[in-house]
Amino acid sequence: MNSITTIAFDADDTLWINEPYFQEAEKEFCMLLEDYLPQHSVSQELFKTEMQNLNLYGYGVKGFMLCMIETVCKVSNNTASLELINKTIEIGHELLQKPIELLDGVQETLENLKGKYRLIVATKGDLLDQERKLKNSGLLDYFHHIEIMSDKKESDYQKLLKHLDCKPENFLMLGNSIKSDILPVLEIGGFGAHIPYHVTWTHEQHDLNLKHTNFMKLEKISYVLNYL
């Protein structure tokens, strides 16, 4: 770990709360469509629609809103009222206006690392929404660079490292998703630190029993300080 010069942080559910808000919104949405299908069936239809549209919409609230509207049309066989569509849009608007609640130890950890390492944010999601959240988080001054990525595959991290002029062996990624934040970074020769979060989107779930010399599992974000 002595070779690390650049530390990247995922944002949602690593720096602040995110997925619980999505799950609350989904529950509210599924209740709206109870007259058509049981809630768990609506949830399955929504997830299926999200997966079908991922390459078109990417990640984030706006894509989620469009998938909810499409699910309304599917589930209702195009008979849903405009009122139901409007209520669906309202759920999305509420999601876009959720407060930013930092996770435990985030600010203290960044304070400890600032000036010693080049700190960046590497996150997926909608550009405007992620910029808003970063601005409202009060954390912007800690970061040298913000990268809002359309995806987090090996090629995306390679592009990021090239932009940063950083070798993989000098790069550490911290995040709550093994699939997006850890595996691609390990594959290109970087270091990955997994910080488990109690709620994870189904699409991001992965076997947590990972063994790799460049991998560490942290119970809290502040525990990274013990390795650096």
Same domain, 11 and 24: no
Q: Is residue 77 one of the residues assigned to a domain?
A: yes
Given strand 171-175, what is the order of strands in its sheet? 145-149, 118-124, 6-9, 171-175, 191-194, 215-217
Same domain, 74 and 105: no
pLDDT of the residue at 64: 95
Same domain, 85 and 106: no
**pLDDT digit string (tens) for 9-54?**
999 999 999 999 999 999 999 999 999 999 999 999 999 999 999 8
**pLDDT digit string (tens) for 80-100?**
999 999 999 999 999 999 999
Helices 19-32 and 39-57 pack at an angle, to 10 degrees, of: 120
Query: How many domains does one find in the chain?
Result: 2
Same domain, 64 and 119: no
Please answer whether residues 169 and 4 qualify as being in contact, where contact means their C-beta atoms are separated by less than 8 angstroms.
no
Same domain, 155 and 92: no
Same domain, 140 and 180: yes
* Better-scored residue on pLDDT, 69 or 206: 69
Residue-number span of the structural domain to which 129 is assigned? 6-16+100-226
Task: Output the domain CATH number for residue 205.
Answer: 3.40.50.1000
Please answer whether residues 152 and 122 qualify as being in contact, where contact means their C-beta atoms are separated by less than 8 angstroms.
yes
Q: Is residue 1 one of the residues assigned to a domain?
A: no
Same domain, 170 and 191: yes
Task: Output the domain CATH number for residue 47.
Answer: 1.10.150.240
